[in-house]
Amino acid sequence: MNPSEDALKRLKIADGHLRGVIRMMEEDAYCIDVIRQIQAVQAALNKASTVILENHLNSCVITAIRGEDPAERERVLREITDVFDTATKT
């Protein structure tokens, strides 16, 4: 399975979990069960993000680093830093 297919599969899993969470809330399900399903959504999204990032690092970033344009190298590295900065903001 290629990275795009893997990421899409994981996003669909997250979508299914999220639909389950919504249904559980509509049915006034037990709070801990809802939280566990929310955690499953978060885990699926995190894994999809990891797959997409790994693909990006192994394609776009490597291409930019091997390229001749220093501005492009700096741009892709700044993007990676920005992604991690955004992920760690609370």
pLDDT digits (tens, 9 = 90+) for 9-20: 999 999 999 999
Can you give the pLDDT at residue 40? 92
Number of domains within the chain: 1
| pLDDT tens by residue, 41-70 | 999 999 999 999 999 999 999 999 899 999
Rounded to whole angstroms, how far apart are CA atoms 22 and 16?
Answer: 10
Domain that holds residue 71: 3-88
Assign residue 36 the CATH number of its domain.
1.20.58.1000
Q: What is the pLDDT of residue 89?
A: 81
Residue 61 CA to residue 80 CA, distance in Å, equals 9
